[in-house]
Structure 1
Amino acid sequence: MNTQQLVSMLKQQLTQLERDALAHDQNLAPNHRQTLQQIERFNSQLFSQQGGLLSPCIAQLRQDIQKLEKQLSLKLGGQVIQLSCDRIQDRFIALKRALLTTNINLKAEAQRKASNRARYAKKQQQSAQDSGFGWIASNVMQNSHQLYAELNKHLNWAQKFEQKIEQMEANLEFCHSDDKIKLQNDILLMHRRLGKCKQAISYIEERIQLFERPRQGYPR
């Protein structure tokens, strides 16, 4: 094969590859483009390319072929020509592989994100159990509306406990000595309930902040 035939063959291959790359990019859904932006699909020395679109790589390959054509016309040394041919071949192979592996990359990324979500949920569940308020998390961690409803319920309970304590302490002053010990114990028990309720309020408020905070690296 002479040099003219070589260049002609490379241009024909590039034309076909360009059609494939354009078709690939047109069929790529916007959310898939966004997903592929997070994946390094090429060695940085092969292509300067970001995101899911592959057609921008065609222009770089075309420049390589034009450069090779010029080198051949100038009859540069065989080593220079070989280096250019090797680079073009590596880029052709890499681009063809990228065209074939888009779906594989998307599935792998989806599995990775699902695994991250599962680990995040497990971590949150363990955190809830360790805090002693797992019963809250299991019932209301599905969405922020449930969390706010649970927060409101505990705030109402805390208010009722405080009012009850205030009333009992007022009664204590006029209570018969025989009943004072029992009433004091009841007040102590009510304080304990109020304390647990306030702890639950703080815990739910933390869950709300975690739920509404943007989760970097995880999809919503």
Structure 2
Amino acid sequence: MSVGLIKLEQQISRLKQQAVQFDAAKWFDKNRYMQAQPSLFDTRVFRTKSLKLSDYVDEISEAMTHLPPSEQRHAFAFAIERIGSQMEAVLKVLKSTPVWAKENKLNTPKKAKVYKKAVQKIMQSSHELYQELSQNHEFERRLQEMIDLRRLQMDKANGNEAAKLNAEILALHARLGRCRKAITATEQKIQEVEKSQNR
């Protein structure tokens, strides 16, 4: 496991401890507003339906243990992105408690910001780069579709229309070439980051 993922697991472990304290204090029972937190109870973020915050952190832990291999870039990127959204949703609930606010002022003034930055830093390689790669692949797919469509149109086009379509195809091929170069560059960045994490 890379250093980045180990650090991410450590952050989840801390989140679990905080969630257990949250549940012990019965914050959900005391504050109905928290029960309506859309990011926490949104089925697109969590499958869990519970009034125990630790159950949501358990879902995050389970997702970490079942991460797809990093070679499956799209699936891995999606899983990491989802874990990041889930952690932010849990953190948002924790931050809405007076205890969190009090600790934040007395002990570590920028605790929440530091936490978020840490998560972002850990996930940068396995989130932003994979997201960038995913976007580039989507551009590649769209450009190829546009080329294929114009080729079909050329079969039915007259001389002037065919010449215009041919020019568009050439321009799209140039864009496709740049897109594929970007894909290669991003893949190289990912390999470099993963090598540095595994050292």
Per the normalisation by structure 1, the TM-score is: 0.38
The higher radius of gyration belongs to 1
Per the normalisation by structure 2, the TM-score is: 0.42
